Amino acid sequence: MSTSSTLYSRLRGDLRLSMITLFGALTFVGIAPFVAIRASRAEWLAAGLDAGMMLIIAGSVAYVWRTGRTELVGSINAVVVSLVCAVLTGLLGEAGHFWTYTALAANFMLAPRWLAAACCAVLLSAQLWLGSFSDLVAAAAFLTSALLVTLFAAVFVGLSERQHRQLLAMATLDPLTGAPNRRALEVELPEAVQHHRQRAEPMALAVLDLDHFKRINDRHGHEIGDRVLVDLVARIQGVLRKRDRLFRLGGEEFVLLLPATSAGGARAALEKVRRAVEAQPMGPDLRATVSVGVAMLAAEDDWPSLLARADEAMYEAKRRGRNQVRMYPPSLLAGDRRGGNTDPQPLPATG
Ligand SMILES: Nc1nc2c(ncn2[C@@H]2O[C@H](COP(=O)(O)OP(=O)(O)OP(=O)(O)O)[C@@H](O)[C@H]2O)c(=O)[nH]1
């Protein structure tokens, strides 16, 4: 994946990251002229505050892209913007009020809701305390309009976040089983490959396919076939570690990503999966089995080659009679795993 498409997919997948980035860019462009104007008028404190805020926001955008800590950075930005805005009102009087609306809306885009609400409350109190209003009606008009902006921002951001979560789930989760889908795999697998290669840690990838699923559908009907897929996912997730990832590639084919796992560990884990499927019937007169192909991440691998090897091993398992785990290359295989012969053998680790 190219750098620009990686950046784009991060922006698309993380709403708060995109808001922090947009806010940072707009604040930089919007405030820079005022630093110059205030400096030219010798309003050194106001110019310094604006410049300081620009630096903090620019630094925080760089930090959030490096670390992904969007909640921390968004929270710091909201606090800084609210404080600077309140202090500017104390220094500039009426001119400081105009920035209040921007700060109120930005707080909800940057920080968790409770913190945004707290920042808004502190900012509005400071504005009423420090601001210069001609009379009580002017102060009441300011407060009402500011509260309306706050309310609109809170509702709008809340709705956007909910829709974003729903869209993300629709785009990345298989609606039948709830497992992450092929699209999610295409995002997570390249990241996992890069992560493990950089740290020279072993990683295993398995392709798992239900055996004779067509027969199950033909004999028991599609509805039961669907339930078998749901049950299969529950069984697999029940025996694997929390950090292992299961994806539905399509139909009755799944991919398992086993981070920080040696060949021996992968073999043991996938035998557990195979046995968990075989052990209990999935319904009256309905036994299912799986064929599994495993490949270990090698130094020269990219994710398509790793996936292709695991797929090749899965087809080998099918060719050899199904209901078994095969490793790729076959030299990693210690004995045929079919049926009851399930003791994992020590296997050589690979890159
Ligand atoms: N119920 C149900 N069936 C599905 C779904 N997706 C794919 N299938 C069915 O899965 C079956 C797959 O058949 P095949 O590709 O021949 O594979 P198989 O019968 O499992 O045979 P082997 O893989 O060689 O063991 C087809 O009948 C598809 O219609 C689904 O979401 N629900």
Q: Which atom of ligand 1 is nearest to the CA of 176?
A: 31
pLDDT digits (tens, 9 = 90+) for 175-199: 999 999 999 999 999 999 999 998 9
**Domain count of the fold of the chain:** 2
Same domain? 9 vs 85:
yes
Q: Which residue lies with its CA nearest to atom 26 of ligand 1?
A: 214
ipTM: 0.93
Write the CB contacts of 207 (distance below 8 Å, at least 6 apart in sequence).
Answer: 249, 253, 254, 255, 256, 292, 293, 307, 310, 311, 313, 314
Same domain, 246 and 289: yes
What is the pTM for the complete model shown? Answer: 0.72
Residues 189 and 153 in one domain: no
- The boundaries of the domain holding residue 276 are 182-332
Q: In what order do the strands lie in the sheet with 245-250?
A: 245-250, 253-258, 204-210, 290-296, 325-328
Ligand 1 midpoint to CA 218 (Å): 10
Residue 351, domain member (yes or no): no
* Co-location of 199 and 167 in the same domain: no
Query: Closest ligand 1 atom to the C-alpha of 210?
Result: 20
Confirm whether 14 is domain-assigned: yes
Task: Give residue-wise pLDDT tens across range 208-231.
Answer: 999 999 999 999 999 999 999 999
Rg (CA), the chain: 28
Q: Which of 172, 201, 225 is the last residue of a domain?
A: 172
Do residues 321 and 189 both lie within one domain?
yes
Q: Which residue has the tokens 């300081």?
A: 52
Going by alpha carbons, the residue nearest to atom 28 of ligand 1 is 214
Indicate if 204 and 253 belong to the same structural domain: yes
Specify whether 158 is located in the same domain as 31.
yes
Same domain, 82 and 157: yes
**pLDDT tens track for 54-91:** 898 899 999 999 998 999 999 999 999 899 888 888 88
Find out whether the beta carbon of 191 lies less than 6 Å from any atom of ligand 1: no
